[in-house]
Amino acid sequence: MIVFRLGRIRTPQGPGMVLLLPFIDSFQRVDLRTRAFNVPPCKLASKDGAVLSVGADVQFRIWDPVLSVMTVKDLNAATRMTAQNAMTKALLKRPLREIQMEKLKISDQLLVGSSHTVELEINDVTRAWGLEVDRVELAVEAVLQPPQDSPAGSSLDSTLQQLALHFLGGGLSSGAGGASPPGPADTLEMVSEVELPAPHGGAGPSPKQPVAEGLLTALQPFLSEALVSQVGACYQFNVLLPSGTQSIYFLDLTTGHGRVGHGVPDGIPDVVVEMAEADLRALLCRELRPLGAYMSGRLKVKGDLAVAMKLEAVLRALK
């Protein structure tokens, strides 16, 4: 117990019975036992461009009750902020693989520091408050975006680009006309799912197929058990068309080889994604990444954000 007599601090009292003078003494209790708190998961960018959600569990104890009362007003909030700043500075300098493989080593360096680094040591700050952090345990909740320099994150290959050019109605004009070369191969794709096939290209395409329909047709041949085991989620896409109407599609990657179709899924989707048709086009052609679309507000997510970011793996699987 820290006792203030007429505003002047006295020697710490207790444990046990403490005599206080009414109207003269005021006091504050200090718990000297080891306590713990958690740093809420926050989004961080690693050295190689990966975006991950990282939290931490922190254990600390007070070794000088007078300093803990006199130097800082809210001890828990100050310690939590210090731990979060130290964690952020440490992870920004490391690639994703090192963060995943050496969490214990990084946690120790946050406490005791290292002669080879200039990272913030938590206890360098907290000792001045009469507090010492005994343990920090990092927790990587989810990887929201893979490293940018990863081979898996490369742009679409020629096969997907041809599919995109066809299903997006020539919106991504890579050449001049280009109607003749892709004609036979493209008409073989799922045109019959939308309307009766039109084998003669001279008459021009019939009513333009929506981009969302093209995405579904492009995804269908690439669904596999491997993709289902990697993603393991069900998505519902609410696509806003230029006409102002909304079309609903689903991508079910929970069982078998996966299913894709028009309308709502059979069960409750893990994530509901809302976006405009133009943004869907940019997403398919890798002009827009899921995390960038979410951060800019062009992609709205209802459900688990980490599951929604697995759409990046779905796009990579189109190879």
pLDDT one-digit tens code per residue, 219-245: 777 778 888 888 888 888 888 888 888
82 & 5 share domain: no
Cβ neighbours of 317 (radius 10 Å)? 18
104-122 pLDDT, tens digit per residue, is 888 887 776 543 343 447 8
115 & 23 share domain: no
Give residues with Cβ within 8 angstroms of 23, minimum separation 6.
Answer: none
259 lies in some domain: yes
272 & 308 share domain: yes
204 lies in some domain: no
**Number of structural domains the chain divides into:** 3
Give residues with Cβ within 8 angstroms of 282, minimum separation 6.
Answer: 288, 293
46 & 20 share domain: no
Is the per-residue pLDDT at 197 higher than 80?
no
94 lies in some domain: yes
Least confident of 59-63, 205-209, 243-247, 292-296: 205-209
Contact assessment for residue 254 and residue 108, using Cβ atoms and an 8 Å cutoff: no
User: In b/e form, how buried is each residue of 30-52, taking b as 16+ CB within 10 angstroms?
Assistant: beeeebeeebebeebbbebebbb
The residue from 128, 145, 162 where one domain ends is 145
Domain range enclosing 25: 1-30
